[in-house]
Structure 1
Amino acid sequence: MTDVLNWGLSGPATLIALVIGYLFGSIPFGIVVTKLSGGPDLRSIGSGNIGATNVLRTGSKKLAAATLIGDMLKGTAAVLVGARFLGGPEAALAAGFGAFLGHLFPVWLGFKGGKGVATYLGVLIGVKLPVALVFAAVWLGIAGIWRYSSLAALVASLLTPLLLWLWAGMPQAALVMAVLTLLLWIMHRGNIARLAAGTEGKIGQKG
């Protein structure tokens, strides 16, 4: 993907990219894989979230990994489809933004979705792989030490727009990812409160 975006998309093209990205992002892989495996409704256990961290609370690492991969790749796929078929880099960002919104607010689940970390990473993979690798490394490092998935995601997401702007030289992509970071933090407001109170659940903890 080119590193300098000119924001040349027309309104209709942007809307098409957003809608297609949204449809990608709204696929609830966590619910799909748990139901196919004969497990409970994911929304009835743990945090009630549809993401991989809550799937892990079912005790199945395989299902959690499948959910993580699915939620991540739907973000990457949206970006790549936007870049290849919908108008290039600008459409890629619009589709990635739509995919993130689709995961957070899927129409199929009454607009009650996940918190977006895996899809955020998937979008970032499509936008700039080296920055995505840094995100993953930071996430793994913090999660490995403190065992808080939310804390790892919050810190890694804060670094992402800065890396895109200052290291990758992609100011427009940095702006889009900054908006996604803000949304990600908003979706994690409950986690932030629990982290401050010392009551946040740790990775692998059944709830």
Structure 2
Amino acid sequence: MEIAALYVAAFLLGSVPTAYIIGRLAKGIDIRRYGSGNVGGGNVIQHVGKKWFVPQMLSDALVKGAGSIWFSVYVVGVDWNSALLIGPPLLVLTGNNWSPFLKLQGGRGLGVAAGTLVAFSPAILGVVLVIYFGGYLLTKEAGVWALLALLALPLMAFFFPLELKMMDGSNLTWFCLGVLGLVMVKRLTSNWTPFPGNLSRKRVLFNRLSRDRDVDDREQWVERIPGAIG
């Protein structure tokens, strides 16, 4: 019963749409109608303001991501090596990506995923950040390198030395596969936004999965405003 309550609480915690709330309070906008439509950090930077990224990211990474794990271990008493510990962070990620408070819309969960690695393995998080930021600096394609970093996660979870991980390798690998699956599904569904009329469905799905956007032109995508979406 205690574990069931923990899992429900984790989902509800993840469902709190931090980026949406910040957009409403700071600028009076519905962030889902701007830019990528993503309820996350990139859209906050682009359409709310860079300074608001800090509280948004701290909320997603430390309160939702790492916080759900630390609470499970130090308050509820779940063992670090228990498979039960996989549940809370994955449910937080699910709530973040498909929030019932936003009609099952939400973010991509990258900030939440990063926060879980703060708790599970800062060393793996460090490698992931090097892959992501190194690739981005070279190509300016954030979506592509976020996907590559996510694809590398299960391998790192399995092969990293045990002393660099708080959870045993097999459970952490399954967790990372869950993170990868949830983020990929979110990319493909993309808040249920309609497909652009000037591109084929296959092209849009390819763009969503590989580039995390519907169209080929990044600037056109991130700078969209109400009245110019389509």
**Structure 1 length as normaliser, TM-score?**
0.84
The structural deviation recorded for 1:99 is 0.8
Q: 2:19, 2:31 within 8 Å by CA — same for their partners in 1? A: yes
User: What do you get for the CA RMSD once the two structures are aligned?
Assistant: 2.3
Q: 1:78, 1:92 within 8 Å by CA — same for their partners in 2? A: no
Q: Which amino acid aligns with 1:127?
A: F
Q: Which moved more, 1:153-162 or 1:188-197?
A: 188-197
Choose 1 or 2 for highest CA Rg: 2
Residue aligning to 1:177: 176
Residue aligning to 2:94: 101
The structural deviation recorded for 1:39 is 3.6
Q: Which moved more, 1:159-168 or 1:182-191?
A: 182-191
The structural deviation recorded for 1:192 is 6.2
Residue aligning to 1:9: none
Alpha carbons of structure 1 residues 27 and 51: separation in structure 2 relative to 1, 3 Å = same
Query: Aligned partners of 2:39, 2:222: CA distance in 1, in Å?
Result: 16
Query: Aligned partners of 1:20, 1:121: CA distance in 2, in Å?
Result: 20
Which string of whole-angstrom CA distances, capped at 9 and with x for unpartnered residues, describes residues 38-87 of structure 1? 34110111121101111122161112333222221211100111111222
Alpha carbons of structure 1 residues 200 and 116: separation in structure 2 relative to 1, 3 Å = farther
Runs of 4+ residues deviating >4 angstroms: 195-198
Is 1:47 aligned to residue 36 of structure 2?
yes
Is 1:17 aligned to residue 17 of structure 2?
no
Which string of whole-angstrom CA distances, capped at 9 and with x for unpartnered residues, describes residues 8-64 of structure 1? xxxx44433322221221121111112221341101111211011111221611123
Query: Alignment identity in percent?
Result: 19
Query: Aligned partners of 2:129, 2:58: CA distance in 1, in Å?
Result: 13
1:38 to 27, 40, 43: 27
Is 1:193 aligned to residue 186 of structure 2?
no
Query: Aligned partners of 1:88, 1:107: CA distance in 2, in Å?
Result: 30
Alpha carbons of structure 1 residues 198 and 35: separation in structure 2 relative to 1, 3 Å = closer
Query: Aligned partners of 1:117, 1:15: CA distance in 2, in Å?
Result: 25
Stretches of structure 2 lacking an aligned partner (at least 5 in a row):
163-168, 191-203, 225-230
**Structure 2 length as normaliser, TM-score?**
0.76
Alpha carbons of structure 1 residues 111 and 47: separation in structure 2 relative to 1, 3 Å = same
